[in-house]
Amino acid sequence: MIRVALVGIGNVASALLQSLEWVKQGKPIYGVLTSLPYKPEDIEVVKAFDIDKRKVGKRLSQAIFEKPNVVPKQVEVTSDVIVVRGETLDGKEGVLERIIEESELPPVNVSEELKKEKVDVVVNLLPTGAQKASEYYAQQSLMASSAFMNATPSSIVESLDRKFKDLHIPLLGDDLLSQIGGTALHTGIIEFLKSRGVRVTRTYQIDISGTTETLVTLEEWRKDLKKGIKSEYISKHSNGATVIAGTSDYVEFLGDRRVSYMVIEGEYSIGIPVRVDISFKSYDSFNAVTPLIDLIRIAKVLKDKGIGGAIPEICGYYFKKPPVIYDSTEESRRLMLDYLSKVMTEPRLDR
């Protein structure tokens, strides 16, 4: 079993827990790695941290459907894990001040809770911009010898890589790349056009949804952070084309549905113009599930082998702000699979 703690019981946590229940019922989940020694059904969420009084003190099976979460119920979750009160720090700044109803309970000792539950992997699902809170949970994970996965845009890998590496604790991040999110699809279309000899000159992407994450990302300072990461990632795959990508609006009735619009312009043949317009609709939070299930299992494999720090070959495939952004999705996937194949045949490295 892989013992997991979740930080932030929002929409992604809801989608992940429902999906884990789904696979434990023997139903398929599409796109997960099949070459790992651990299966999706080996994942067990044993600890959960939040600061909202509508979730703190409740079972996970109930908390994941409390407001402001909007992910629809696809399966009945049976978890009896109680959500405990985490640290707030900068976790409710800006617009979050009026969204989150802060619990009056005192925060728990996070590292002690992680140790008590023998947590293998901590998954950070805090809102965009919660830099101090993300750093705090990363440090607490380090103290508890738990692997840390940063699914948020907060900058964690660059500053803490050395500490995790020295203690042989895996660190994965930053900013999760969704299974078929707008950034992944946008990049894939650009790579296809490049493979056919098209010179991509400029492109843009706008995203609209009804989740809390979408709403908070519209705050100027958070918007700049998220837009910068997305734009840089897509730009790295487009040979220097002008790229603008980011969340443009919050539409409450959309709930967890996300609508993305992409426009890609370029030249082919003797400089003939070409334009691709794409309208893409998906469920935002479930887009995170498959890569999270892969990464939790990968983190456990790395931990078992005594491999610490951020691994470029792993982070480069699964995140938008990794230590290294490779030239193509194909290259990053090949390097990731080659690395895992090698690691799984080697003895534990820190002995």
Q: What is the pLDDT of residues 272-291, one digit of tens each?
A: 999 999 999 999 999 999 99
173: nearest Cα among 14, 52, 70, 314: 314
Query: H/E element holding 273?
Result: strand 272-283
Residue type, 339: Y
pLDDT surpasses 60 at 88: yes
Least confident of 48-57, 122-131, 232-241, 293-302: 232-241
- Over residues 72-76, the mean pLDDT reads 95
SS3 204: strand
Q: Which of the four pLDDT bands, split at 50, 70 and 90, describes residue 350?
A: low
Q: What strands, in cross-sheet order, belong to the sheet with 43-50?
A: 84-85, 43-50, 2-7, 121-124, 147-150, 171-172
Lowest-pLDDT range of 64-68, 169-173, 244-248? 244-248
* Structure tokens that stand for 154 in this block: 């907060």
Binned at pLDDT 50, 70 and 90, residue 351 comes out as: very low
First to last CA, the chain: 23
Kindly report, residue by residue over 164-191, the tens digit of the pLDDT: 999 999 999 999 999 999 999 999 999 9
pLDDT of residue 349: 64
- Concatenated DSSP letters of 13-73: HHHHHHHHHHHHTT---TT--SSSSS-GGGEEEEEEEE-BTTTTTSBHHHHTTSTT--PPP
Q: Are strands 257-268 and 272-283 parallel, antiparallel or unpaired?
A: antiparallel
Q: By C-alpha distance, which of 156, 213, 178, 137 is closest to 294?
A: 178
Provide the pLDDT for residue 329: 93
User: Does residue 224 carry a pLDDT above 90?
Assistant: no
Contact in structure between 91 and 133 (CB atoms under 8 Å)? yes
DSSP 253: G
Mean pLDDT within 223-238: 84
Classify residue 351 by its DSSP letter. -
Q: Locate tokens 């989150």: which residue? A: 100
DSSP assignments along 141-159, one per residue: HHHTT-EEEE-SSS--HHH
Question: Which of 2-16, 222-236, 323-337 shows the lowest mean pLDDT across its residues?
Answer: 222-236
pLDDT at 326 over 80: yes
SS (H, E, C) 75-143: CCCCCCCECEECCCCCCCCCCHHHHCCECCCCCCCHHHHHHHCCCCEEEECCCCCCHHHHHHHHHHHHH
Mean pLDDT, the chain, rounded, equals 95
Identify the residue with better confidence: 348 or 83: 83
In this prediction, residues 222-237 reach a mean pLDDT of 84
Q: How far apart are CA 40 and CA 302, in angstroms?
A: 16
